[in-house]
Amino acid sequence: MLHWDAAAMMPAGGAAARAEQLAALRVITHQHLTAPEIGDLVAQAESESDALDEWQRANLREMRRRQVHAAALPCELVEAESRACSECEAMWRNARAQNEFSAVLSLLERLLRLEREIAATKAEHLGSSPYEALLDQYEPGGSVAIIDRLFDELARFLPDLLEAVLTRQAALPSPAAPSGPFPIELQRQVGMHLMERIGFNFGHGRLDVSAHPFCGGTPDDVRITTRYDESDFARALMGVLHETGHALYQRGLPAEWRLQPVGRARGMAVHESQSLLLEMQVCRSRAFLTFAAPILREAFAGDGLGWEPDTLYRRQIRVQRGPIRVDADEVTYPAHVILRYRLERAMIAGDLAPADLPGAWAEGLRDLLGIAPPNDREGCLQDIHWYDGVWGYFPTYTLGALIAAQLFEAVREAIPDVLEAIARGEFAPLLGWLREHVHSKGSLLSTAELVESTTGRPLGTASFKRHLHDRYLA
């Protein structure tokens, strides 16, 4: 909640005090997790695990994982990282607004030194590589070998698929654009209306504005933020719907285990699968836009071809090479993630200095998409993650996209008329399936076990490839 407040409500002058508050809470939490009696109690429980049911055993497993992560670090390092994150993130906001990477460079260098120290220390305790030790914080049990295999498969078929999509798209007339401007208050109202229709309960959440859209809070008080553009309502709307997928997952976690580790979200790959399933698989579908077009037209008093369902659909699946990850279509999005994955691995390994990040970013984007960012604001300053101490997170976005495609295939097999229901504005069948098969599982299963038990096969790229072909080339 303190993070949400800092992003959405806190005056700029409160940054130093907020850094102190967050550092204090992190130190207290760390002290509890690393107290000698905690390790003894966990060990005793592990020796008696035969008497536990599957939820209790999974809860104990998650307790041990969190305790190992915490025990690896001295309290002083936890406090130093917390302060460095708060200071760097606050400076990033100014640097991004001013398009001045040099303004945040020294703070990023300090933070990276701490992250590398944390990675090395945790790797010894976890028996993993330093990068995987950071990855495990967001994707428990995540493996570089698996990520590399999946990302290599994507890299083999996506370039040709992108060229085929762009060629086909160029042969068609450009879809008409709805006429603006689109007042922010109207955008907020229509976003909230669609959130409610899909299943979000505003008795347990809010929608606000921040520099970088996110979903946070707690299962009973979910906070979503977005950013608005009066010339294009779809950017904020799709961002809101993306974060609504996160929020629905958060709200659907098992209530009986809500205050226990096993009651938490499995990891960020599953979390991202829920946001991308809603945004990409559902809300950019022809079925959803058939339902949403009349609502959008009425909200903005629209008229003309640009408000027709088919036109809105074609605009929402428009593919183009662009520098901004959060605005990228689903065909080019994996390239943005692969770029960040490569860069953060290089920085953690010590093979890339932060001072060289802008150049490496531009070179990597040219290699992957054939374009370069026009400036650092649209390049290495566009994402908050590294400047807020979030290293090892980026792969979960594309892992989430792969999981989302595989899950939605399973949904369509289980509920053959799910798209027809969506076109009528009926989302209960979809949400009910997700609640039963994903949300209510919390951290009972590993990501691999959850995917295989729900879809009948291990995570792969085939469903994602079929989805892209069916939507863009069929």
Q: Which residues are catalytic?
A: 243
| Separation between Cα atoms, residue 82 and residue 2, nearest integer Å | 13
- Structural contact between residues 261 and 62, judged by C-beta atoms closer than 8 angstroms: yes
- Consecutive H or E run containing 222: strand 221-226
CB distance 456 to 152 below 8 Å:
no
Question: Measured between alpha carbons, how far is 332 from 451 in angstroms, rounded to an integer?
Answer: 24
Sequence-separated (6 or more) residues with CB below 8 Å from residue 321: 332, 369, 370, 371
C-beta of residue 4 within 8 angstroms of C-beta of residue 223: yes
In whole angstroms, give the CA distance from residue 122 to residue 128.
8
Question: Pairing relation of β-strands 221-226 and 214-218?
Answer: antiparallel
If you ran DSSP here, which 8-state letter would residue 279 be given? I
Is residue 6 within 8 Å of residue 25, measured between CB atoms? no
List of long-range contacts for 158-163, beta carbons under 8 Å, 24+ apart: 158/331, 158/334, 158/335, 161/331, 161/465, 161/468, 161/469, 161/472, 161/473, 162/319, 162/331, 162/332
Half-sphere exposure of 412 (CA within 13 A, CB side): 14
- How far apart are alpha carbons 248 and 271 in whole angstroms? 10
